Amino acid sequence: MRYVVIMAGGSGTRLWPLSRRGTPKQLLKLIGGTSLLRLAFERATRLVPAERILVVTGAPYLDAVRADLPEVAPENLLGEPVGRDSLNAVAWPAAVIARRDPDAVIAQLTADQLIEPVDAFVTALEEAFAVAEADDRALVTLGVVPTSPHTGYGYLHRGEPVPGCPTACAVREFREKPDADTAAAYLASGEYWWNAGMFVWRAATFLDQLAALEPATHASVLELAADPGRLDEIFPTLRKTSVDFGVMEPVSRGAATGSVVAVALPIDWRDVGGFASLAEVLTADADGNVVDGLAVLNDARDNLVINTVDAHVVAVSGTTGMVVVHTPDATLVTTLAGAESIKSVVAAVADAAGPDFT
């Protein structure tokens, strides 16, 4: 049967002070009062019933995830005691699902993007499922059809089409985030898609590749699936690496028995990673200002102002391209351009004021 695993780990440091240690960005109700995780779950229910949706998140977030997704059974919530990167966020649930259903086919999806239109997303996933079901060697990766020479995404170099499939093709290679000139050349060639970091595969196929390429991880996740009570013992020992570096790229180079296939995602795909991208997805007023909460703007343009305190007003005057975020115990003031450097600010806050403010 088909399953969906939603990866909902990470802290979303670049959205501090909205995202905190106990409330990562995927749980913030940023989009019309709805969290990114909830939106990802609702997309997943277009593909499989709720009982076949699993969520992988940080152990400290489990209670919040339960509250946001009450439809998900407790045994389908996997809480990582420590972050060990994306390879382990896909390997652990693959082992869990394979133990329940050896013939399972899994869509491995993310919880920190906005995806529209959802109908096109569902159509692409249906094709990806069909490819994985028809070919027991295929590891299917989803490639977003690029609309600009974006330098913030990795790229997939497409090869020969897969016969009988509308958009599927072999993947020649994975390419890292390019410089501007290289990205422009990729776009002009028409041979590259953005790497969405979402996948579809048979559980058994993925685990076979993992056994060949990362045998220690393979053995450990099988032990963990068989004995969940050893989570705190086993999980921190897993080698920390990404699924692209650990499995997908080596397989694409012929290092194991599988093959990597890409399916097109012809969608509007936005990674809400920081305040600049958040400002792009929220509605702006006539002066280009994005405002959430009680705020007064005077002679101000193209600012992002967020105030989460009801009995407090934020006033902004004479500014352009600023970010002002006010919460009960922390206030951030920066520029939209400088907002990408918030990780260093958070580290400085922890040093100066203590971890309770991060």
Taking only the tens place, the pLDDT of each residue in 78-109 is 999 999 999 999 999 999 999 999 999 999 99
Identify the pLDDT of residue 34: 93
Helix axes 85-100, 203-213, angle to 10 degrees: 130
**Is pLDDT above 90 for 163?**
yes
Give residues with Cβ within 8 angstroms of 93, minimum separation 6.
5, 54, 56, 78, 106, 108
Which ranges constitute the DSSP H helices of 55-202?
A: 62-68, 85-100, 118-134, 180-189
Identify the pLDDT of residue 299: 97
Q: What is the average per-residue pLDDT within 233-250?
A: 97
**Is pLDDT above 80 for 300?**
yes
Identify the pLDDT of residue 48: 98
Which residue in 147, 139, 166, 130 sits closest to 267, CA to CA? 147
**Chain centre to alpha carbon of residue 148:** 20
Kindly indicate the confidence band of residue 167, based on its pLDDT and cuts at 50, 70 and 90: very high
Identify the pLDDT of residue 271: 79
Kindly indicate the confidence band of residue 23, based on its pLDDT and cuts at 50, 70 and 90: confident
Question: In this predicted model, which residue has the larger pLDDT, 344 or 272?
Answer: 344
Identify the pLDDT of residue 196: 93
| CB 236 within 8 Å of CB 82 | yes
Identify the pLDDT of residue 269: 85
The whole-angstrom separation of Cα 182 and Cα 246 is 25
Identify the pLDDT of residue 9: 86
The whole-angstrom separation of Cα 22 and Cα 299 is 36
**Chain centre to alpha carbon of residue 64:** 18
How do residues 95-151 score in pLDDT, each as one tens digit? 999 999 999 999 999 998 899 999 999 999 999 999 999 999 999 999 999 999 998
Identify the pLDDT of residue 24: 87
Q: Which of 79-93, 164-178, 230-244, 268-282 has the lowest mean pLDDT?
A: 268-282
The whole-angstrom separation of Cα 297 and Cα 319 is 9
Which residue in 90, 168, 103, 159 sits closest to 136, CA to CA? 103
Going from the C-alpha of 275 to that of each of 249, 253, 271, 324, the distances in angstroms are 31, 37, 11, 10
Q: What is the average per-residue pLDDT within 56-61?
A: 95
Q: What's at 190, amino acid-wise?
A: G
Q: What's at 154, amino acid-wise?
A: G
Q: What is the average per-residue pLDDT within 305-321?
A: 97
Identify the pLDDT of residue 30: 85
The whole-angstrom separation of Cα 54 and Cα 75 is 8
Kindly indicate the confidence band of residue 36, based on its pLDDT and cuts at 50, 70 and 90: very high
Cis ω for the linkage preceding 17 (within 30 of 0): yes
Burial 114-126 (b: 16+ CB within 10 A, else e): bbeeeebbebbbb
Identify the pLDDT of residue 277: 86
Identify the pLDDT of residue 20: 87
**Is pLDDT above 80 for 202?**
yes
**Is pLDDT above 90 for 273?**
no
The whole-angstrom separation of Cα 259 and Cα 51 is 30
**Chain centre to alpha carbon of residue 12:** 11
As given in the structure block, the two tokens for residue 42 are 């609702």
Percent share of the chain, pLDDT over 90? 87
CB atoms within 10 A of CB 226: 11
**Is pLDDT above 80 for 10?**
no
Q: What's at 198, amino acid-wise?
A: M
